[in-house]
Amino acid sequence: MLVELFRRLRRAPMFRDWPNACATAVAGAILAWLGYRFINWAVVNAVWALPGEAGPVACRAIRGQGACWAVIHERFRFILFGTYPSGDQWRSALACGAFLSLYAATAARASWKPWLAGAWIAVTPAALLLLHGGVFGLRKVSTDLWGGLPLTFVLSTFGFSAGFPLGIILALGRRSKLPAVRVLCTAYIEIVRGVPFVTFLFMAAALFPLLVPEGFTVDKLVRAQVAFIIVIAAYLAEVVRAGLDAVPSGQLEAAASLGLGYWRATLLVLLPQALRIAVPAIVNTFIGFFKDTSLVAIVGLFDLLGAAQAVIVDPRWTAFGVEVYVFASAVYFTFCFAVSRYSRRLEQTLALADRR
């Protein structure tokens, strides 16, 4: 029986031939030693959950030898929902659920119909209403108490639903035959794409008070959201432009020969095909901007990363930043990895469907 096991092991990819077997053995030994030390730190010697003041004390006692997961156990609600009042956190969770259902619905090809666009436009205001309250007997919660995961979802989803139409217009404008329109769109796209995103967040934070009439105050969240929309539009414009360029020119010529004007040809013939080609790139852009929502932590908004940082600033938990960052990374990684796997599968499915 041992012989059988040995034979099956030998056929495994990591032991298939001598170089593989040696490399795996050496690397495996190193990884096993590192893994042993990591498991010791993360699981065996770790402090899992101690309520009240016992948590930080016990954690400090095993500092360096064991992980302090008690910080997650005590503060995960703060990391996920920020300073949102704990009695109303079900509304935050419900808003997150609404966004996740929207993404899940978008992923299913069966639902790629016009109502999906309506859903994207409708979900964010609905979630904002839910979070803000003041109607239907829900208690009003001001925006400076919002934070955590709902903020991340709101910034990325609304940024995309508003930035997508704007990006399409910019892409069409960049391809336009009218020089004024083309110059304006090209300048916008190139400037916005050439400057770091953080700069736009700071610009929005500093310039908004100067750009609006005296007496108006613009909410910090609104400033960040506008910065998002401006930047997402420019990046999506490039992605859509690549899709537009990939549609064979015969399509537009056929549309012209049928007597369709510019707008009808664009909306009915060009855009549907271009967007279909651009879908994997659009999904990848979404992943990129979902990660970039973490940058609002720099301008003082408490998204998932901002809330995580706030936990670390607390003197009781300052020494356990590594554990908190690992938890935040796990949340981001789960979402982004799932979406990127979906994107890869989507690319293959679309490529297969295109081969007629």
Partner 1 sequence: MAWQVAVVVLVSIVVTIVAKTTAANLGARGIASGYDYLTRAAGFEISQGLLSYSSRDTYGRAVLVGLANTIRLSLLGIVGATALGVLVGIAQVSPLWIARTAGRVYVEAARNTPLLLQLLFWYSLWRQLPGSDAALSPLPGVFLSARGLFLPRLIGHAGLPWFALDRPSLVGFDFRGGISISPEFGTLLVGLTLYTAAFIAEIVRGGIVSVDRGQTEAAAALGLSELRILRLVILPQALPAIVPPTISQFLNLAKNSSLAIAIGYPDLLSITNTTVNQTGQAIEAFALAAACYLAVSLAVSIAANASAGALRARLGRGALHVG
What residues make contact with partner 1 under the rule CB under 8 A?
A: 13-14, 16, 19-20, 23-24, 27-28, 178-181, 184, 191, 194-199, 202-203, 206-207, 209-214, 287, 291-292, 294-295, 297-298, 305, 309, 312, 319, 321-322, 325-326, 328-329, 332-333, 336-337, 340
CB of residue 209 to partner 1, shortest distance in Å: 7
Between 130 and 236, CB nearer to partner 1: 236
In terms of CB distance, is 79 or 123 closer to partner 1?
79
Q: How far is the CB of 23 from partner 1 (least distance, A)?
A: 5
Spatial contact of 133 and 140, defined as CB atoms under 8 Å apart: yes
User: Given the complex with partner 1, which of 86 and 329 has the nearer CB atom?
Assistant: 329
Angle at 58 between CA 52 and CA 59, to 5 degrees: 100
Backbone angles phi, psi at 295, to 5 degrees: -70, -20
- In angstroms, rounded to a whole number, what is the distance separating the alpha carbons of residues 50 and 58? 8
- Closest contact distance (angstroms) between CB of 36 and partner 1 is 17
The answer to whether residues 36 and 287 touch, using CB atoms and an 8 Å cutoff, is no
φ/ψ of 209, rounded to 5, equals -60, -25
Q: Which residues contact 304 (CB under 8 A, 6 or more apart)?
A: 79, 80, 148, 149, 151, 152, 293, 294, 328, 331, 332
Separation between Cα atoms, residue 326 and residue 243, nearest integer Å: 37
Tokens of residue 196, six digits: 């770091």
Least Å distance, CB 135 to partner 1, is 32
Nearest one of 355, 270, 302, 343 to 146, comparing CA atoms: 302
Q: Bridge partners of 68?
A: 47
**Shortest approach of partner 1 to residue 233 CB, angstroms?**
16
Which residue has 């960052």 as its token pair? 325
Smallest gap from Cβ 169 to partner 1, in A, equals: 11
Which token pair is 287? 């992943």
Instruction: Between 31 and 268, name the residue whose CB sits nearer to partner 1.
Output: 31
Q: How far is the CB of 257 from partner 1 (least distance, A)?
A: 23
CB 1 to partner 1: min, Å? 25
Spatial contact of 137 and 128, defined as CB atoms under 8 Å apart: no
Q: How many residues does the chain have?
A: 356
| Residue closer to partner 1 (CB basis): 29 or 100 | 29
**One-letter identity of residue 61:** A
| Residue 67 to residue 61: CA distance in whole angstroms | 11
Taking the complex as a whole, the smallest distance from the CB of residue 140 to partner 1 amounts, in Å, to 30
Closer residue to partner 1, CB minimum distance, 122 or 298? 298
If we measure between CA atoms, which residue out of 31, 27, 24, 29 comes closest to residue 10? 24
Nearer Cβ to partner 1 (10/16): 16
CA distance 76 to 64: 22
Q: Which residue lies nearer to partner 1 by CB, 86 or 340?
A: 340
Long-range contacts of 71-76 (CB under 8 A, 24+ apart): 71/311, 71/317, 71/320, 71/323, 71/324, 72/323, 72/324, 72/327, 73/48, 73/49, 74/49, 75/311, 75/317, 75/324, 76/327
Closer to partner 1 by CB, 163 or 173: give it: 173
